[in-house]
Amino acid sequence: MDHYSRMIALLKVLLPLMALALLSTLFLLSRNIDPMASIPFAEAEVKERIRDQQITGPFFSSSTEQGDQISFSAGKVSVADGNGLVTADDISAQVDLSSGARLVFFADLGEIDIANNTSELSGKVLITTSNGYKIKSDQLVSTMTSLSVDSPNKIIAEGPLGTFTAGSMRLTTHEKTKSAQMVFTNTIKLLYDPKIR
């Protein structure tokens, strides 16, 4: 048997033994875990979960009578004290219109009134559209079962025409064409940028 063959034979025995020694030290040096120990939660978090009914990371979807698809997700949803109000934070919603366009909504906070079929987004509210618009507001009020969204306060928008502001905005379904339309009112100012087109 030559030197190379002896070396291979020795390594075939030595390497598995080294691996076994490494694995055994891993188990010997690992901490003992008490299976009966409680899961570490902050006491304040436990009290909050006991006090409020809440869901972490909820997602739901539905459709309107016009065939628009709506999906909604949030970081956390809490049920208020039996008054039919649901509060949510870190909200994102997507509306796929029957016309093929898409609207995506983001907001810091939201309040859903199930009894009155309304929701209100507040904080930093952002709407992005599939045709290239980004609309910022601090409040949006909408219905839950139909496409009716209002921003009663000032909006700032960027899009294919440039940058514009308006005192209020309304997104509804046109009665005759049944397609979605966005209407801006109350002192509209447009800064047209021909380079964007």
Has residue 127 been placed in a domain? yes
**For the chain, how many structural domains are there in total?**
1
Nearest-angstrom CA–CA distance, 37 and 51 = 24
Has residue 20 been placed in a domain? no
Nearest-angstrom CA–CA distance, 80 and 102 = 31
Residue 175 has pLDDT above 90, yes or no: no
- With contact defined as beta carbons under 8 Å apart, do 89 and 74 qualify? yes
What pLDDT does 126 receive?
A: 93
Per-residue pLDDT band for 134 (boundaries 50, 70, 90) equals very high
What pLDDT does 174 receive?
A: 73
Other C-beta atoms lying within 10 Å of the C-beta of residue 136: 15
* Tokens encoding 72: 């909604």
Nearest-angstrom CA–CA distance, 73 and 59 = 4
Has residue 90 been placed in a domain? yes
Has residue 77 been placed in a domain? yes
Residue 129 has pLDDT above 80, yes or no: yes
Query: Containing domain of residue 178, as a range?
Result: 53-192
Evaluate if pTM is beyond 0.85: no
pLDDT, one tens digit per residue, over 74-119 is 888 887 666 668 888 999 988 888 778 888 999 999 888 877 888 8
Amino acid in the structure at residue 22: L
- With contact defined as beta carbons under 8 Å apart, do 138 and 111 qualify? no
Has residue 175 been placed in a domain? yes
Has residue 4 been placed in a domain? no
The dihedral formed by the CA atoms of 105, 107, 109 and 113, expressed in degrees to the nearest 10: -20
Has residue 28 been placed in a domain? no
- Tokens 């390497």 belong to which residue? 15
- Tokens 């009112």 belong to which residue? 185
CATH number, domain containing residue 132:
2.60.450.10
pLDDT, one tens digit per residue, over 27-69 is 666 666 666 565 666 666 666 666 667 778 888 887 777 778 8
Has residue 142 been placed in a domain? yes
